[in-house]
């Protein structure tokens, strides 16, 4: 059901926004520069390879290069800003028992992190 709703809404968005238009993160209040600092602070790089983040070379979770082009978040959520923010804040709620801890990011911080990830294409 979530899939269907997300799919329909992204179809609607895709219908209106031409290719190469402003990236999605510009519209949901995230700042990629702040996100980059937040990623360092939260030590995302201990488990993920993240282009553009110093020493982010962990291989516990998936590499996050070209994240903007990914279809799913963690293989279970459609890769939309809203779902990504949800995942970033509460991965244990989405997929209980996966290795990624809840990050303790605030809503704004999660938006900033998402904005950074959406610069990776």
Partner 1 sequence: MTGAPIAKLRAQSKAWLAASFVCGGLAAFAALGIGGLLVVQTGAFDVRASTPHSLLVGWATHTTMIHAARNGAARVGPSPPITTAAVEAGFRDYDANCAACHGGPAVPRAPWTGGMTPSPPFLIDASRQWRRAELFWIIRNGVKMTGMPSWGFTRSDPQVWNLVAFLEALPYISPEAYGRMRAAQGTMLRRPCCSPAGSPSP
47 makes contact with partner 1 (CB under 8 A): yes
Residue with tokens 């903007």: 68
Indicate the residue among 9 and 93 with the shorter CB distance to partner 1. Answer: 93
CB 28 within 8 A of CB 88: no
73 makes contact with partner 1 (CB under 8 A): no
Quote the least distance from Cβ 47 to partner 1, whole Å. 6
Q: Which of residues 9-28 bind partner 1 (CB under 8 A)?
A: none
86 makes contact with partner 1 (CB under 8 A): no
Q: Which of 15, 18, 20, 104 binds partner 1 (CB under 8 A)?
A: 104
CA distances from 109 to 77, 86, 99 (A): 20, 12, 21
Measured CA to CA, the distance from residue 22 to residue 13 in angstroms comes to: 12
101 makes contact with partner 1 (CB under 8 A): yes
41 makes contact with partner 1 (CB under 8 A): yes
Indicate the residue among 105 and 117 with the shorter CB distance to partner 1. Answer: 105
**Structure-block tokens of residue 110:** 């999660």
Return the closest-CA partner of residue 43 out of 32, 24, 21, 58: 58
């Amino acid at each position: 059901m979530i899939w269907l709703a997300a799919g329909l809404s992204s179809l609607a968005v895709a219908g209106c926004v031409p290719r190469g238009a402003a990236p999605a993160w510009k519209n949901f209040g995230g700042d990629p520069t702040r996100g980059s600092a937040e990623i360092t602070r939260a030590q995302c790089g201990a488990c993920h390879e993240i282009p553009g983040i110093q020493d982010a070379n962990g291989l516990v979770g998936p590499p996050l290069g070209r994240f903007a082009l990914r279809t799913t978040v963690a293989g279970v959520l459609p890769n939309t800003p809203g779902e990504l923010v949800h995942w970033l804040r509460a991965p244990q709620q989405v997929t209980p028992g996966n290795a990624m801890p809840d990050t303790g990011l605030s809503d704004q911080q999660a938006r900033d992190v998402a904005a950074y990830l959406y610069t990776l294409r």
